[in-house]
Amino acid sequence: MTGPVTVLASPDGVPGAVSEPGALAAQEVVFPGAEREGVNGYLVRPAAEGSHPGMIVIHEAGGLGDHIRDVSNRIAALGYVVLAVDMYTREGGPPDMSDMQHVFARLFSMSDELALGDLEGAADMLRAREDVTGRVGCIGFCMGGRYTLLFACGSDRLDVAVDCWGGFIDRATPEERSTSERPTPPLDLAERLHCPLMAAVGAEDHNPSPELGEQLRTRALASGKPVQLDVYQDAGHAFFADYRPTYRPQAAALLWSRVVPFLGEHLLVPPTVLES
C-alpha cells in the first residue's frame, strides 16, 4: 500500500534545509526486494514534471525516522528522485534505541545477502520510473554507510556512492571477523568497487577510525574507480545527525558542501561528458 505524505520544512540552519516543502512530492512506497519480498520506503521527488537522477538513502541504526526523511527531502530539493529504504522492514520496524545491546544484536543478525538484494531492488525500482534518468546513487549513514559500501562493492547497480562513517566495515561483530549473516567484511570487497566513492570519517571516531578510513581508501583505489576520503576535524560519529548531541554544525556544513558537487558530478552530468 502506498500513499502521499506531507513534506515538512527542515530544522532551521541545517545544511541544505528545505524551506519550500511544496516544491516536493512524497509518498510511502513498497517495492520488491530480495526474494521479491515487499520492502518499505519513503519516496520524495521534485513536484514539477521532469526527469531526474535517482538517489537511495540508507538510514542509521535508529531506522527510517524523521531525520533521515528530512535528509531525503534535502537531497530531493537538489533535483533527485530519492528513495529512503527501510532496512528494518523484515524485522518489523526499528529497534528500541534505549537498549543498545539489543540494537547491536539486531544489526548483527541481519543478513548481508538479503540487505544487498533489497538495495538492488531499490535501484531497480528507481530506474524503472519514468521520472528517473537511469543514473542512481546511494548515500548511507552509520549502519547505512556500511550497507552503502557493501552495495557499491558487491553490486553493479550504482553510479556513485557516499559512505558516511559506516561502522564495522572490517569485521562482522566486535568479537568476530565474519559470521554466517555477515560473511565478508565490506573492507575486503573494496578492490571490487564498481563506482566512484566518497567516504567521510570523523577525526574523533573509533568505528570507523581515520586509520580504518585510510585502509578503505587504499584498497578501494585498487579498483581503478575514483575514491575520495575526507576526515572531519573536531567531529566524531554521527556528526551530521542534527537531532543528536553528536551534531557538529561546521563539520556537517562542510560535508554537505562536498557531497552536493560530488553527486552532481557523477549523476547530473551526462555520462558522455564524463567519458570525454
CA dist 276 and 274 (Å) reads 6
Q: Are 12 and 34 in contact (CB under 8 A)?
A: no
Which residues of the chain carry a pLDDT beneath 70?
Answer: 1, 270-276
Enter the C-alpha cell of residue 134: 537511469
Q: What is the pTM of this model?
A: 0.96
- DSSP conformation class of 213: H
> What pLDDT is recorded for position 208?
98
Q: Are 68 and 84 in contact (CB under 8 A)?
A: yes
What are the pLDDT digits (tens) for 21-72? 999 999 999 999 998 899 999 999 999 999 999 999 999 999 999 999 999 9
Enter the C-alpha cell of residue 217: 581508501
Q: Are 123 and 54 in contact (CB under 8 A)?
A: yes
Domains and CATH numbers, the chain: 27-268 (3.40.50.1820)
CA distances from 73 to 43, 97, 236, 256 (A): 9, 24, 24, 14
Q: Are 58 and 147 in contact (CB under 8 A)?
A: yes
> What pLDDT is recorded for position 3?
86
CA dist 203 and 210 (Å) reads 6
Name the strand (E) or helix (H) holding 254. Answer: helix 249-263
Q: Are 100 and 169 in contact (CB under 8 A)?
A: no
> What pLDDT is recorded for position 141?
98
CA dist 164 and 198 (Å) reads 8
> What pLDDT is recorded for position 93?
86
> What pLDDT is recorded for position 274?
46
| AA identity, residue 59 | H
CA dist 52 and 217 (Å) reads 29
CA dist 169 and 219 (Å) reads 12
Coil, strand or helix: which one is 128? coil
Q: Which residues contact 218 (CB under 8 A, 6 or more apart)?
A: none
> What pLDDT is recorded for position 209?
98
